[in-house]
Structure 1
């Protein structure tokens, strides 16, 4: 800093020391030196150093912060399997003539409440209670049987089906499994068509497509179909279980009622007893012997829930009388 040239005092006052030095020494041309172009090339390419990967350090679980621990994936519970959709009963449609019901002494849905209807309301309440308590599809399969013929099993099976069909949101499939003397379709005035035994003999037939839809809301009828000498063997086959499972699987509001041959007359009732959850054993008052009742109960013992229905009684031990509350006295 030996330059002694005259300095403009007004300019010097406004300029900084660096600015004044730049004007004197010419600092604008300062910069990195140029690399000579004739330098020798390196013998091998220069590889820049790679960063050293850090090894993970195991940290005890007790020292993991709470926030970090909560970030760990939480195992989700396995999703429950979806229930299978119910098989729709999609057979042909047929009207039931009400005069057929009246002539047979059966319940007529549109008629006023009768003592007969009230009695079967009591029976169906007990059946529904057991089905809902145990939550098993077999409990919604009800076998109606008697020790001997002529004790009213078909009469009771039809009336029970009509009474059950009156429940809201309930389907009832009445199956004529009396392969010896089928009569359900005739009593209801239905044309005899293919039914249970046809489905058992021919695996290509779907039983739900043989169930007749009636004009009684919620009531379907599966006729016995073509019967033959090998019916007992068909009923004892695995095909029977497959058909019944198909008819009740995924349908918690569907009840299947079987009218079977008398227990002491044929083996069909005993074969079907292992596929149902409830049995209604119909006995006729003053006619069915105690020995016959005990023998029938033994044959149907594959079903653990057997109910006794006393038919054709002419008295009530409690003095109870149904159906006359709404009657008008003259």
Structure 2
């Protein structure tokens, strides 16, 4: 009798391959040396009147498809399965410090795929039944999240930080994708880093958490080595997801960028633009085969 073939080897996720490629250890301690900073006491957010319900805005699914991104309600694909793995690891790592239900998505340099990953990860997380996902456009110099999703621009985070009369909840755009909302960047300011580092920023983020206890916030940040806002935002989140472009990001730049994010204890790497040699079936092919049967 022939023996049964060995079970197939589990395919590493893009997060795990990034760790192997760049020699980092996953989770806590990715930055070189140094002790964890002591957070300032959190300001108590005052009670505010409830915001009237806003009609959901439709996501431009055609635009997402044209850009090679996840399409809500679309067929399961290789890309969808990759981001399922990514979100599982992010959800498993929540609570490591800072705001447990908040993730900063960034990269070392521009054009390394951070907005692509932030939007796709938000769409994947919105499919979860237990979370309300808020995607925050925090790339204030080049805000691209509303345009990517086909949503209208409007007042956002910077407006509420600069003007106490602006209610942050009223700036949030609900979408026709269940469990997904978007907070625009708002009016550009020359003091964006200082506004993010202020106690008002901490109080406003406290208020966002208190308004929706199951709200999971993702911040699409400016590149770390191109703008200082990412470093300021890192002090407000529970973990950082650093997008690493496989064919472009150098190890020295990556280590320099991670060192600037020392306000957050947990940094994970997401390998983007990976060229894979075909070795049998990949993610998504299982579902395709089922549909063809």
TM-based fold match above 0.5 = yes
Pair 1:286-2:247 in alignment? yes
The equivalences for 1:151-300 within 5 A come to 151-249=112-210, 251-300=212-261
Please state how far the C-alpha of 1:305 moved relative to its aligned partner: 0.6
Alignment partner for residue 106 of structure 1, among 66, 69, 79?
A: 69
Aligned residues: 245
- Name the TM-score, length of structure 2 as normaliser: 0.78
Q: Which whole-Å deviations, capped at 9, do the CAs of 1:200-237 have from their partners, x for residues lacking one?
A: 01111111111000000000000001002121221121
Please state how far the C-alpha of 1:170 moved relative to its aligned partner: 1.3
The answer on whether the counterparts of 2:137 and 2:145 sit within 8 Å (CA) in structure 1 is yes
Q: For residues 268 and 89 of structure 1, do their structure 2 counterparts lie closer, same or farther at Cα, with a shift above 3 Å needed?
A: farther
Greater Rg over alpha carbons, structure: 1
Residue in 1 aligned with 2:39?
none
Please state how far the C-alpha of 1:250 moved relative to its aligned partner: 6.1
Q: 2:54 & 2:277 partners in 1: Cα distance? A: 42
Gaps of 5+ in 2: 1-46
Q: 2:87 & 2:119 partners in 1: Cα distance? A: 12
The answer on whether the counterparts of 1:142 and 1:279 sit within 8 Å (CA) in structure 2 is yes
Please state how far the C-alpha of 1:312 moved relative to its aligned partner: 0.6
Q: For residues 197 and 129 of structure 1, do their structure 2 counterparts lie closer, same or farther at Cα, with a shift above 3 Å needed?
A: same
Deviates more, 1:281-290 or 1:319-328: 319-328
Please state how far the C-alpha of 1:286 moved relative to its aligned partner: 2.1
Pair 1:121-2:78 in alignment? no
Q: 2:99 & 2:189 partners in 1: Cα distance? A: 27
The equivalences for 1:41-80 within 5 A come to none
Alignment partner for residue 267 of structure 2, among 289, 292, 306?
A: 306
The answer on whether the counterparts of 1:89 and 1:211 sit within 8 Å (CA) in structure 2 is no
- The higher-RCO structure (CA 8 Å, 6+ apart) is 2
Taking only aligned residues, the RMSD between alpha carbons, in angstroms, comes to 2.4
Please state how far the C-alpha of 1:251 moved relative to its aligned partner: 3.4
The answer on whether the counterparts of 1:173 and 1:257 sit within 8 Å (CA) in structure 2 is yes
Gaps of 5+ in 1: 1-83
Q: 1:294 & 1:279 partners in 2: Cα distance? A: 14
Q: Specify the SS of the correspondent of 2:241.
A: strand
Q: For residues 92 and 237 of structure 1, do their structure 2 counterparts lie closer, same or farther at Cα, with a shift above 3 Å needed?
A: farther
Q: For residues 217 and 265 of structure 1, do their structure 2 counterparts lie closer, same or farther at Cα, with a shift above 3 Å needed?
A: same
The answer on whether the counterparts of 1:90 and 1:210 sit within 8 Å (CA) in structure 2 is no
Q: 1:90 & 1:264 partners in 2: Cα distance? A: 39
Q: 2:192 & 2:255 partners in 1: Cα distance? A: 26
The answer on whether the counterparts of 2:131 and 2:215 sit within 8 Å (CA) in structure 1 is yes
The answer on whether the counterparts of 1:176 and 1:259 sit within 8 Å (CA) in structure 2 is yes
